[in-house]
A and B are shown apart, each in its own frame.
Chain A
Amino acid sequence: MTGAGEAFALQCPAPLPPGGSVLIGHGSGGKLTAELIRTVFVPAFGGRELAKLGDAAVVEMGALCVAFTTDSFVVDPPEFPGSDIGALAVNGTVNDLAMMGATPLYMATAFILEEGFPMDTLRRIVASMADAARTAGVELVTGDTKVVERGSGDGVFITTSGIGLVPPGVLIGPDRARPGDVVLVSGPIGSHGVAVMSRRAGIGFDADVASDTAPLTGLVQAMLAAGDVRCLRDATRGGVASVLNELAEASGVSITVRDEDLPVLEPVRAACEMLGLDPVYVANEGVCVAIVAPGDAGSVLAAARSVPAGARAEIVGVVEAGPARVRMETGLGVTRSLIMLAGGQLPRIC
């Protein structure tokens, strides 16, 4: 479960309490999502492992250390430049496991299909899922299918759950960042979000941008072998800024990143300028944030760059002693805070 943790827990006496219904912002990966998880799910389901709110749970089963996670995919449109909902559903779950240092092994999937959804599209999505699973080295071993009446769904929703084994000695946790550590980003940010938006009804612009969806298992294993990787997070919904806020909060540290060091592809920058979005809050599907011990920064960076998924990895910032916060240094040498957004980013009017 992502989207947990907060930059700071402002509890306002709200003049407009969220009240009785779920809002679209509750799914944004920002503060509203965190609020929903903290006030509805965690109290009901309890449990020490859940309360850690990691990308995946890590549980002991006999002598084995097992990572276990689940994720649902509702992306609109289901096919977009560079990928589709099927590959995304596999890679999303694979990456949640990889972020715990686990080797993903088996996966379950459930489809909710809307009456009238084109069978050809479904076949393409399923073929793409199978490809992604082969690439990631996981086997789809069980599943479920439901069909809802036209109008009760949005074409296709896919849920995947995965398990993997965490090798002995792996110690990754959101609370392990220490002053002096460095922040590494595994590749150019914002590409997935912009690729999806470029095909969304109502925007439809031509951008030479493909989704970055990719399994990160190989990348993570290369980095773990090269040095002390203290924290790992898949920078999906809410983008790099939200992930950094979660890590800063969990570790009680201050994180500063430099605007100029963050890798962003030119067409992604241009699209973000046009839409009034900040790439640090845009979703990724094949980019992780790693916090690395200072002495190992060079070797972990080199290891990341040695695999395709990390070819454009960069060191983008440093960890300092608290308070828990995330700041960005602008080109002019001024720092500003990167806060956790309340809901999703909304394109500006003008």
Chain B
Amino acid sequence: MRYVDEYRDTRIARALLADIAATVTRPWTIMEVCGGQTHTLIRQGIDQLLPAEVDLVHGPGCPVCVTPLAVIDRAIAIAKRPGTILCSFGDMLRVPGSKEDLFQARAAGADARVVYSPMDALAIARREPDKIVVFFAVGFETTAPANAMAVRQAKALGVENFALLVAHVLVPPAMLAVLAAPGNRVQGFLAPGHVCTIAGWTEYEPIAGAFHVPIVVTGFEPLDLLEGIRMVVEQLESGRAEVENQYVRSVQRAGNLPAQQVLAEVFEPCDRAWRGLGVIPASGLRLREAYRAHDAEVLFPAQGPEAEESERCIAGQVLIGRAKPDQCPAFGTECSPEHPLGAPMVSPEGACAAYFLAGRTRRVEEVRT
């Protein structure tokens, strides 16, 4: 398969691993920011092949994982309202809210539908004009432009019954939060290649400078990740802290300017709560004033107090790289993909689910006895 197989060549992978081993002289902690990267690393077992000095910790770049409980509850409440249809990407339906998830709400009569694009949700809105169709807009800079396009088109076409429940978040503020957290161990980053395809990497330059951390924009295939790790290790070993681009086949420094223009037209930055991390200033996007008629937060204001996260779930620690999934007492016991305590166990890109799905259940045998 072109554009895939050439980035999975095992011979080159072994050469890159040997390079990393030859370069590293002392322990380093590197965070891969994006859940897609975590997924490949764990699925392919790359973390197990790296020299012991290189410790990979998993970052907050899983959109399903960082969407707060209160927002999930809100989506469920909207899906349960008569006359509304909540449309979402598939993995959001299994994320536990405080009482139930969207699949359970659907079994109890709520109208929650899986779509594969916000444009599909817009098509449902046009087909069913007597219903209000709400698209659950989650994700980072990567998914935001398509959602912006959908709502812009809804406005242009006069589709008044289409709204977005926006939970978009931005990567650079989360990286700043990780670096500023007490006891931070992260010394270098693999920045998310797809986010940078849209947003470019200029925003990462001041972070690299201020915190003296190397940041390498990295892709998602095994060779991308190994090359990205090698580039970070080389910087760390030589005392450099720059932004470099491994994912040259997709990313340019300025990013995708037309996508950025659509984003700027439709959304504006706002403070946003992250699951497990709390409120991070200017870390999210919300619809601009001109699109308030399509804003589900305005149409369906929150009711009642917001639910608290489970105390037994250490998602917040996992999402900032302070703990690994299998260090959680609930991992594989109380918390599993069929009964997730927290969101990182839901999406395959969540670090906890990536560990579980790859069978990093070293305690499975103990659990059974």
Q: Interface on A for B, CB 8 Å cutoff?
A: 8-10, 12-16, 18-19, 21-25, 31-32, 35, 202-203, 266, 269-270, 273, 276, 323, 325, 327, 330-339, 341-343, 346-350
Contact between B91 and A346 (Cβ–Cβ < 8 Å)? Answer: yes
CB-CB under 8 A for A332 and B1, given A10-B333, A15-B341: no
Contact of A9 among B117, B194, B368 (CB under 8 A): B368
With a cutoff of 8 Å between Cβ atoms, the chain B residues found around residue A341 in the complex are: 337
Contact between A348 and B359 (Cβ–Cβ < 8 Å)? Answer: no
Bound together, the chains give a CA A21 to CA B110 distance in angstroms of 13
With a cutoff of 8 Å between Cβ atoms, the chain A residues found around residue B359 in the complex are: 325, 327, 336-339
Tell yes or no: B142 within 8 A of A by CB. yes
CB-CB under 8 A for A342 and B43, given A15-B341, A349-B63: no
With a cutoff of 8 Å between Cβ atoms, the chain A residues found around residue B361 in the complex are: 8, 337, 339
Contact between B336 and A342 (Cβ–Cβ < 8 Å)? Answer: yes
With a cutoff of 8 Å between Cβ atoms, the chain B residues found around residue A266 in the complex are: 1
Bound together, the chains give a CA A19 to CA B10 distance in angstroms of 47
Contact between A348 and B338 (Cβ–Cβ < 8 Å)? Answer: no
Tell yes or no: B96 within 8 A of A by CB. yes
Main secondary structure of the interface of B (DSSP, over half): mixed
Contact of A12 among B49, B96, B106, B339 (CB under 8 A): B339
Q: Interface on B for A, CB 8 Å cutoff?
A: 1, 4, 8, 10, 13-14, 36, 42-46, 48-49, 63-64, 89-94, 96, 99-101, 103-104, 106-108, 114-117, 120, 138-140, 142-143, 194, 222, 310, 332-339, 341, 347-349, 356-361, 364-365, 367-368
Contact of B116 among A19, A343, A347 (CB under 8 A): A347
Given contacts A14-B339, A19-B100, 19 further A-B contacts (CB under 8 A): A9-B368, A12-B338, A15-B96, A19-B104, A24-B106, A202-B115, A325-B359, A331-B10, A332-B14, A332-B44, A333-B10, A334-B46, A337-B358, A341-B337, A342-B338, A349-B64, A349-B138, A349-B349, A350-B142
Contact of B45 among A21, A276, A334, A338 (CB under 8 A): A334
A–B pairs, 5, beta carbons within 8 Å: A12-B334, A23-B104, A331-B13, A336-B358, A348-B347
Most buried by B among A9, A269, A346, A349: A349
Bound together, the chains give a CA A331 to CA B103 distance in angstroms of 36
Main secondary structure of the interface of A (DSSP, over half): loop
Contact of B94 among A334, A346, A350 (CB under 8 A): A346
Contact between A334 and B44 (Cβ–Cβ < 8 Å)? Answer: yes
Contact between A16 and B4 (Cβ–Cβ < 8 Å)? Answer: no
Bound together, the chains give a CA A62 to CA B337 distance in angstroms of 47
Chain B residue with the shortest CB-CB distance to A270: B1
Question: What is the distance, in angstroms, from A338's C-beta to the closest C-beta of chain B?
Answer: 7
